[in-house]
Amino acid sequence: MEGVAAEGDVEADGQELSATIAYVVKKLKSSQLHSELEREARTSLHKSEIRIDTLKEDLKVFLQKSGWEKKLQNAVYRELNVLPPPSHPSAPIEHIKEALAYMRRAQVYWEKRVLKSLNSMCTELNIPLAQKRSLDDQKELLNKWNEMGTDEPDLSQFRPVYAPKDFLEVLINLRNPNYDIGDQNGLCSNWGLINIPLPVKGLPELRELFAELGLNYGQLGIDDSIQIPTDLFESDHVRLGQKVLSEQDSAAAQQYIRQGCPTGLRADTWALILNISNQMEDSLYYDQLKSNVIQHDLLVDSLIYKDVKLTASNDDYYFVFEDYLYQVLLCFSRDTMVLDHFSYSSASPPRSYIRGKLGLEDYAVVYPPNGVIPFHGFAMYVAPLCFLYHEPSKLYQVFREMYVRYFFRLHSISSHPSGIVSLCLLFETLVQTYLPQLFYRLREIGAQPLRISFKWMVRAFSGYLATDQLLFLWDRILGYNSLEILAVLAAAVFAFRAENLMEATSLAAAEAVLADLSTLKVMPLLQLFLFATVP
């Protein structure tokens, strides 16, 4: 019997693998790399070292030596990083986006609400969703492309479509119809706001996942370690990083960055992990997006403008980059390549109809063209990246890839382990399990921990931590290809400030204790919580 079971597993594994291969091959076939490889192979036929009788082998060797194999590897690796979880071969597409029906319904409902709010703003202000700019306007915008921040249009009537706290209300109301919550006050019950069952990791599993953050590993972002001499580790780590970069291997870079990235190597290392090469085609594509912005005026432009003015423009760290943020975000809103990520996101792009053709499918268009409606704080996903890339086209590509790999999960409803719902539940479970007294106390005074930490997680802590610390945190997001670290850090912050929090007597007081996170050192907090908390 045992043998049979094992064989069955192997078979299932094999099936899964071939499905994965088929998926990746399909994705790559339509990529630019595919045509480049083809072209390269074809021109190589004229080379003397390629002989007809050993064509296949010679070609392989040639592609390997000329660095194309590395590029292919990195491209495959990129696809694997965003690969949807395995599903039954006959499962419908919507199941790949999100397997749980009640989650799907909640997401659809949420999208409707957001779109309705957008539409009603349109009607209220009597502004079309999109319109072509007059030639004079186009000229003017082109002239001030690099200084959009100096413009002060009247945006007082615009308001963010939603803020994180509106979204939190929706998550709190999520229910699984097949699951009985039971006695809310029972000992084993969940004290938090999220009341749906999802598998989240416990401390032992987190320790396993984040093994490289352990006390026995060297770590950038730790000033003094007892086990590892800091100076020695740093210089070694820089040398290793240079080697990883010279090898141009995404997978190695991803492993490397788990222990943190030296500041001077971060821009290149992140680009390598995200498989961004910023070639000519990429900057041409960016220019194309830019000209789309110049030609058309979208309603979301005002939302973006308003968001930057409300957030980054007032931020001690990021105000300097205000103009870059407009450029990146406006181009992003026009970028239809972003739509690809909806194949593995629980969200679907909002659709709008051409005037007078409401409800007619033939006249439906995705709006905004990238399918993403910005909310309050959206600009903060871009802001920290401005510290790394001063060239707009590269900044843009890195941001887009970060978005389609990670950030979209922070504002859509799904059961994915990196999705915001799982992060909320992970956070609440950690605090309830390891800081029960604190949780109980905060709940008693009406200061549910998630009400404070939610905004941190939705923004991936951008705008809350000092930038150097934030980059250390994002190093680990990239390194582990997971957002779970955000929930762990949120819990670690509560643990760190537990003493002061215990003295708080209201939500406002608790919020005040946690109002300024800019002095926190991320890595020691994470280590302390992950590896020094007694289970």
> Which parts of this chain interact with other proteins (CB under 8 A)?
146-147, 149-150, 152, 262-264, 266-267, 313-317, 319-324, 386-390, 467-468, 471
Shortest approach of other proteins to residue 297 CB, angstroms?
A: 22
d(CA 525, CA 355): 54
Shortest CB 324 distance to other proteins, Å: 6
**Cβ closest to other proteins, residue 33 vs residue 271:** 271
Which residue lies nearer to other proteins by CB, 271 or 420?
A: 271
Q: How far is the CB of 203 from other proteins (least distance, A)?
A: 32
Which structure tokens are listed for 149?
Answer: 């921040």
Q: Which residue, 132 or 144, has its beta carbon nearer to other proteins? A: 144
Contact 295, 133 (CB under 8 A): yes
Minimum Å distance from CB 511 to other proteins? 18
Minimum CB–partner distance for residue 466 and other proteins (Å): 8
Nearer to other proteins, 286 or 321 (CB): 321
- Whichever of 117 and 313 has its CB closer to other proteins, that residue is 313
Tell me the three state secondary structure of residue 298.
strand
DSSP secondary structure, 411-459, as one string:
GS----TTSHHHHHHHHHHHHHHH-HHHHHHHHHTT--HHHHHHHHHHT
User: Among residues 276 and 420, whose Cβ is nearest to other proteins?
Assistant: 276
408 exposure class (CB count in 10 Å sphere: 0-12, 13-18, 19+): buried
Question: In terms of C-beta distances under 8 Å and separation of at least 24 residues, what long-range contacts does 115-124 make, across chains too?
Answer: 115/350, 115/352, 115/373, 117/161, 117/162, 118/161, 118/299, 118/350, 118/373, 119/352, 121/158, 121/159, 121/161, 121/299, 122/299, 124/157
The H or E element spanning position 490 is helix 484-496
How far apart are the C-alpha atoms of 98 and 84, rounded to whole Å?
A: 9
For other proteins, give the closer residue by CB, 84 or 262: 262
Min dist CB 92 to other proteins, Å, is 44
Grouping H, G, I as helix, E, B as strand and the rest as coil, residue 97 is helix
Q: How far is the CB of 315 from other proteins (least distance, A)?
A: 7
Q: How far is the CB of 510 from other proteins (least distance, A)?
A: 22
The DSSP line for 118-146 is HHHHHHHHT--SEEEPPHHHHHHHHHTGG
Residue closer to other proteins by CB (options 180, 224) is: 224
- Tokens matching residue 266: 């971060």
User: Are 106 and 287 within 8 A, CB to CB?
Assistant: no
What would the two tokens of residue 372 be? 């993403």
